[in-house]
Amino acid sequence: MPADLTPAEAWRVLADGNARFVAGTVEHPSQGADRRAEVRDEQRPYAVLVGCSDSRVAAEIIFDRGLGDLFVVRTAGHVPDVTVLGSIEYGVALLGVPLVVVLGHRGCGAVAATRDHVRTGREPVGYVRGIVDRIRPHVADLGEAPDDEAVRRHVRATVRELVEDSVVVARAVAAGTCAVVGATYELVEGRVVPEVARGPVDLGPGDGSMGA
C-alpha cells in the first residue's frame, strides 16, 4: 500500500474496503508476516480513524484493512477531548496522515445515554459524565427525534468541533494536505455512509453511500 496518498485517494481506499466488507468479499490485506516485517521500523498510516469504542465497530475490520493502515483513536461516543485531539494531531502533524475520519454509528449507547440524561435528568455514573457532557450540546434540542438523527447530528458536530478546536487540523485542511470526513456506520449492513466533509475529498454521487 503506497503511503503517500492524497486525501481523496485515502478516502477511496477506505470506501473500497468497506464495499468489500459489505459485499462479503474481504481480502484481509496487510495482516500477514510480510506486512509485520514491512512496518517494523516505521508506520505510514493514511487515515486517522476517530471512532466509537463500540465492540461492533472495529475499525480495521469494517474497512478491510490491516497493520500500519489506520491510526485509530476510539472513545465511547468519539468525543474529541484534549488527549483525543492530541492523538489526532500526532497523526496529522507528525505522521503526515492525509485523512481524518470521524465515525459514529447507529445504535450508539453513548448517544442514547446522553439522550436519556437529557430526558430524565438522571446523572451518569462516574466518569461517564465526561462523555455525556461532551455529547449533550449536540443532541439536547432534538426532542423526540429518532436516535439515528442524533447520531448523525453528533457526527457532524464532532467534525465541526475538531476543525474549530485543532489549529493543526484546520491548517492542514486549509492547505489541502488533509481532509476530514464524518460518517456513520450501519450495524447490520456494515455500510459506512459519509455525512459531511471538510477539505479536498469527494464523497461521491447518489445517496452518499459508499460502494455498490
Q: Write down the least CB distance from residue 161 to Zn ion, Å.
A: 17
**Scanning the structure block, which residue is given the C-alpha cell 442524533?**
150
Using the minimum distance from each CB to Zn ion, give the nearer residue, 84 or 172: 84
From 108, 113, 180, 203, residue interacting with Zn ion (rule: CB under 5 A)? 108
**Which C-beta is closer to Zn ion: that of 52 or that of 201?**
52
Indicate the residue among 38 and 147 with the shorter CB distance to Zn ion: 147
CA angle in degrees (0–180, nearest 5) for 33-46-195: 125
18 vs 30 by CB, closer to Zn ion? 18
Q: Exactly one of 22, 49, 52, 92 binds Zn ion (CB under 5 A); which one?
A: 52
Judged by beta carbon, residue 110 or residue 159, the one nearer Zn ion is 110
> Quick one: which of 13, 15, 22, 54 contacts Zn ion (CB under 5 A)?
54
* Residues in Cβ contact with 102 at an 8 Å cutoff, skipping those fewer than 6 apart: 50, 51, 78, 155, 158, 159, 162, 180, 181, 182, 183
**What is the C-alpha separation between 172 and 166, in angstroms, rounded?**
10
Cell of 11: 478516502
Tell me the window of 1-9, 65-73, 101-109, 194-202 that interacts with Zn ion (CB under 5 A). Answer: 101-109
Residue 123: count other Cβ atoms within 10 Å of its Cβ. 10
The total number of residues shown for the chain amounts to: 212
Closest approach, Cβ 15 to Zn ion, in A, equals: 21
69 part of the interface to Zn ion, by CB under 5 A:
no
Q: Which three cell numbers stand for residue 209?
A: 453511500
Report the distance separating Cα 197 and Cα 100, nearest Å: 10
Which cell numbers hold the place of 141?
434540542
Q: For Zn ion, which stretch binds (CB under 5 A), given 12-20, 22-30, 52-60, 183-191?
A: 52-60
> What is the closest distance, in whole angstroms, from the C-beta atom of residue 52 to Zn ion in the complex?
3
Return the bridge partners of 157, or none.
Answer: none
For residue 76, the minimal CB distance to Zn ion (Å) is 6
Per-residue DSSP letter, 177: S
Q: Give the interface with Zn ion as residue ranges (CB under 5 A).
A: 52, 54, 108, 110
